Structure 1
């Protein structure tokens, strides 16, 4: 896979752009059973998809920065990482299943979508949307867990975790009709090079909203490893979205499954 190798080699350059707002997670730590777990882990499995009061007030409509944290189960993180790496230098896409609490979106699980990807974009066709709905319905029947789609994830092979113009449009569209909704980006090539997962979580701002930040989640440094098709996009839409803090949580079930992967 020459392209995969070339991109991985490019990452060794000292001129790489560092994407701020991304999280680097060591997968080897996830299987350590005596590692302290996030205290919220048990609670996450026992709460409703959205608290009735929260669903009624919908505070995220009034506050573009309402969601500041994304909690990701260790199982969901591993599944996204494996899926992203299986695509190599081709972008892959999947859905996030989870819950919503005050100020945060919880990713309980994920599943891959059958989509057509290229080195710089991924296209979801009608079959993928049909699969998306059917999977969610079957998941609820089999697991008995009433969790909803709370976003999507896709990979950026070798060029970091940020949102391109197409990504911003996709995320804005979904936030418009099924919010709360989150976008996660995983870089499988940087993950292989580092031995740790490179991941970012993002939400877009409403149309015509002017953020007070200066786009500090992106570096202005030239990104030599970004494909030409994406290079003009890098940093062009920094004022359209913002990154969320990422925290990983684990359960006994997650750890048992991870040990088998």
Structure 2
């Protein structure tokens, strides 16, 4: 396959990925991207995403299970059947909290592994919780890349990335993915709690400490993730209602013009 020329990212998928990246500034997050590839124009179109539960959480890397990769493939096949489009897993994304947007050597190795299975596979990195030095304003950086072999090591090649209007057929899928985010983080916290308390039965102080840590974490999820998400969705719903009313008024106006011209049967 020729080198990729362009990656088109649905605006709704961008929203989901960014919300996911902003969900935590202590560890990296990861998800998979679903779309289709035009081999003739060498363009990748990303139309949906899948948030993955992390099997290992670290500040500088993130790992997922092989079972989740299989589940993502099945999820993409189901979307392909529902939409009639040749959808498949076409990429992955992860976050870089408080650090540069450029991929690390671990990112390049991971990307190279994916490209061995699919040469059109792409990677997105969302650098979040950054501060612009001159204005002290918060900023977000995004890059799209692939891994290439050099004489001595691997390096990145940047792929042009554009954000496009979402496909209506997958609009509900993107919102369903978004609202799964708090649930997935809740599952991660409960799993961590179970691991930490598994071998300390009878140690009252340690049990109470771990319970308090979990309670604080769940409160953080509700305060920093669930509530802002509800506010965004409420604003989106109000925007949709306003736009629907505008379209209805415009339709009524056009029908009136047709009636005045005697063209309405």
TM-score bucket of the superposed structures, by smaller chain: 0.5 to 0.7
Residue of structure 1 in register with 2:43 after alignment: 104
Distance 1:167 1:99 in 2: 23
Query: Deviation digits for residues 92-139 of structure 1, max 9, x if unmatched?
Result: 111111122313221111111112321110012233223322322333
Deviation at 1:208, TM superposition (A): 4.2
- Structure 1: gaps (5+ residues): 1-57, 61-65, 211-236
Residue of structure 1 in register with 2:26 after alignment: 89
Residue of structure 1 in register with 2:189 after alignment: none
Contact 2:73–2:89 (Cα < 8 Å) also in 1: no
Query: TM-score, structure 2 length as denominator?
Result: 0.56
Q: 2:4 aligned with 1:67, yes or no?
A: yes
CA distance 1:129–1:255, change in 2 (3 Å): closer
**Does 1 or 2 have the higher relative contact order (CA < 8 Å, sep 6+)?**
1
CA distance 1:208–1:88, change in 2 (3 Å): closer
Residue of structure 1 in register with 2:156 after alignment: 241
Residue of structure 2 in register with 1:183 after alignment: 123
Distance 2:5 2:77 in 1: 29
Q: 2:142 aligned with 1:202, yes or no?
A: no
Residue of structure 2 in register with 1:168 after alignment: 108
Contact 1:92–1:155 (Cα < 8 Å) also in 2: yes
1:127 corresponds, among 67, 72, 77, to 67
Distance 2:81 2:43 in 1: 26
Residue of structure 1 in register with 2:94 after alignment: 154
Distance 1:80 1:172 in 2: 22
Corresponding residue pairs, total: 170
CA distance 1:165–1:249, change in 2 (3 Å): same
CA distance 1:209–1:175, change in 2 (3 Å): farther
CA distance 1:255–1:152, change in 2 (3 Å): closer
Distance 2:30 2:155 in 1: 21
Contact 1:74–1:250 (Cα < 8 Å) also in 2: yes
Query: TM-score, structure 1 length as denominator?
Result: 0.57
Larger radius of gyration: 2
Query: Deviation digits for residues 56-80 of structure 1, max 9, x if unmatched?
Result: xx3x2xxxxx213221110110010
Distance 1:148 1:191 in 2: 36
- Structure 2: gaps (5+ residues): 176-232, 239-265
Distance 1:68 1:113 in 2: 28
Distance 1:107 1:153 in 2: 12
Q: Any idea what SS the aligned residue of 1:151 has?
A: strand
Contact 1:97–1:107 (Cα < 8 Å) also in 2: yes
Distance 1:119 1:138 in 2: 33
Contact 2:123–2:146 (Cα < 8 Å) also in 1: yes
CA RMSD of aligned residues (A): 2.9
